[in-house]
Amino acid sequence: MVWVKYLQKLGKALMLPVSCMPICALLMGLGYCLCPAAMQGGDISGAAAGIGFFLIKAGGALIDNIAWLFAIGVGIGMSEGNDGTGALAALVSWLMIITLLNVDTVKTLFPSEAENSSRILAFSKIGNPFIGIVAGIIGSVCYNRFHKTKLPDWLSFFSGKRAVAIIAGMLSIAVSFVLLFFWPLIFSGLTALGHGIEKLGPAGAGLYAFLNRLLIPFGLHHALNNVFWFDTIGLGDLTHFWAGQTSADVIWSLGMYMSGFFPCMMFGVPAAALAMIGCAKPAGRKVAMGILLSSAICSFVCGVTEPFEFSFMFLCPVLYVFYALLYGIVTFVTVISGFRAGFCFSGGVTDLIFSASLPAAEKTWLILPLGVMAFVLFYAVFRFMVPKWNLKTPGREDEEYELPAEIPETAGSSGGKYAVMAGTILQGLGGAENVLSVDNCITRLRLEVKDMSKVNDRIIRSSGAAGVIRPGKNALQVVIGTTVQFVADELKQLCNAPAPAGGTAEESTGDSGSADHTEAIPEKPRTPHRRVAREDMQPIMDNIYSPADGELIPMEEIPDPVFSAGVMGECVGIMPENDVICAPISGTVSMVAVTKHALSLRGEDGKEILIHVGLDTVNLNGEGFKVFVQEGDKVEKGQQIMKADIQRIRERGFNPMIIVVQIES
């Protein structure tokens, strides 16, 4: 549905301002350690206290202005191409709304409002994250709709992007007029919800935690978080906690809407992951471990749970409801116990350490017994429910299991490792011609494709992705983890790679979703190139020798835009004469594709070499290929590592060209 897709995009955009919060935890946590007088009262003297006070103020600069961050973050995050013009328009909208709807302006325009305390209270809270999100949406909508607007010549200076902020300002005036009447109603509804749950005490905190997890698949948990974490209606558990206040300064037990997430994320999620690994089928256990262990570590350290949650929430929604219920139960017990901690980002061990010095933190040592309780509870429920109801958690799906291809580690940047991963994902998406858009949130690729029938989940998962989600007709999400930005960057480069001379990408690569597409070998006669052989003493690239006998094809003539544009690195093609494929260098096997059509070697000098046999041959699912090595094996230059049935590859309509790539690091 369109609105669900829009909310998911909004959820992704909100991650940008939220990602600014960990620096607050770091600065303020250290600051309160160095300057306890900032929270206890008394004179602030001495170098250490001065530095601590300085750090507290630095962290507070972001906490106190979180609404501004939401406006700008949503403005840029929801604009096409993440253009900064959308952020500028959002800032214009934000300033316009909070100025037109502040208490003094409202009293001047409507003197009678001065006697209406509930409406005045609503307008006194107008500068909140909720309105920041509204301003961000206005800014991005104006950018997406009007950034290509052409005006008459005498107004041409204001054409295009220069028109966006002006239109956003005018629209904000209209929105402010509407909010003049409706904001008090919205505020009253949010207040009723928030204070209704707040009056339930620990049970309310548990109910909030349950709803928080339950709404994650729809992206609606952000709206709920604004009520309880930020000062939208007068609560603001997060903002007050990090401002150095205590429960004596507010009407609720400060930290109660954050504390319960710590035992769940630090201990409950790893326990559930361990239970699912134990319940996996023997053939699928390695797959489950590959997906779940990294997710568990991510949850424990920084409280990022999406890789874990999205690995099963759509496979078995009933289990996910119980998972959300466990959050509610553990939060209820945590609040009763008196444990209080806060986070700027999420409930991992990092935020626990930095929040422990804040004045509202209490009994943080209880994280150990609470963690044991959460571990036992999550483990027992998952270990019982998964086999009892035959739930299809990772490693239990009804398919043949093979270990996902391990991506070779490349130090220093997003180089070879993420390029290979993105290349495999692109093959699973049906090729660049099937991809309409590439975006990402904090842990997932968010994609639009032309034809969903061309998407091969198995190939995508073989890249090392934790899962594939299909939330809409043409919408696709691939769960990667916290390194998703690097994969997204590589995937965008692959999708934008120019087509080779003489044809479009679609013409040259064919339809990768079909096994009977026309062969990609150029039909026009061309001048033969130099013949190479496995025993040649002359390298085909820098100290790289031919892995096969055949005709050497220059990079720019390879009929695949991913390779011909050099996106993955310098490469050459070889049109093979026989089935034997040997190692072009001496080194270690660092990756063998699940579909056996490709493998990579790491040389003794750290050089990463990919041997990719055929174009689009991933669709053969291993048919016609035999690999004689496995990951970790040592090989010598000239040693046979693979056999490919070239004749069968041709008969199936695929180009058998062997591509040798020196992966950029």
Whether 7 contacts 220, CB under 8 Å: yes
Least Cα distance to 575 among 544, 538, 533 occurs for: 533
Amino acid at 361: A
Whether 33 contacts 96, CB under 8 Å: no
- Residue burial 270-285, b: 16+ Cβ < 10 Å; e: rest: bbbbbbbbebbeeebb
Tokens 């952020």 identify what position? Answer: 87
The number of residues making up the chain comes to 665
Tokens 């490792």 identify what position? Answer: 417
Least Cα distance to 524 among 559, 499, 498 occurs for: 559
* Burial class, 95, CB count within 10 angstroms (exposed 0-12 / middle 13-18 / buried 19+): middle
Q: Which sign does the torsion angle of CA 505, 509, 515, 519 carry?
A: positive
For residue 441, indicate whether it is catalytic: yes
Q: What does the alpha-carbon distance between residue 614 and residue 655 come to, in Å, rounded to a whole number? A: 5
Q: What does the alpha-carbon distance between residue 102 and residue 31 come to, in Å, rounded to a whole number? A: 33
Two tokens, residue 253: 């037990």
- Residue burial 517-555, b: 16+ Cβ < 10 Å; e: rest: bebbeeeeeeeebeebebeeeeebbeebbbbbbbebbeb
| Helical H segments across 503-584, by residue range | 505-509, 561-564
First to last CA, the chain: 40
Least Cα distance to 589 among 403, 404, 401, 406 occurs for: 406
Pairing of strands 467-469, 475-479: antiparallel
Catalytic hit among 441, 495, 571, 582:
441
For residue 612, indicate whether it is catalytic: yes
Least Cα distance to 99 among 157, 176, 161 occurs for: 176
Whether 55 contacts 32, CB under 8 Å: no
Q: What does the alpha-carbon distance between residue 404 and residue 592 come to, in Å, rounded to a whole number? A: 9
Q: What does the alpha-carbon distance between residue 609 and residue 629 come to, in Å, rounded to a whole number? A: 15
DSSP symbols for 366-414: GHHHHHHHHHHHHHHHHHHHHHHTT---TT-SSS---PPPPPPP-TTSS
Two tokens, residue 276: 């699912």
Least Cα distance to 610 among 346, 372, 407 occurs for: 407
Q: What does the alpha-carbon distance between residue 418 and residue 256 come to, in Å, rounded to a whole number? A: 40
Two tokens, residue 530: 């130099």
Sheet holding 580-582, edge to edge: 580-582, 640-644, 625-627
8-state DSSP, 499: P
Give me the torsion for CA of 62, 65, 71, 77, rounded to 10°.
10
Least Cα distance to 311 among 329, 331, 327, 287 occurs for: 287
Active-site positions read: 441, 612
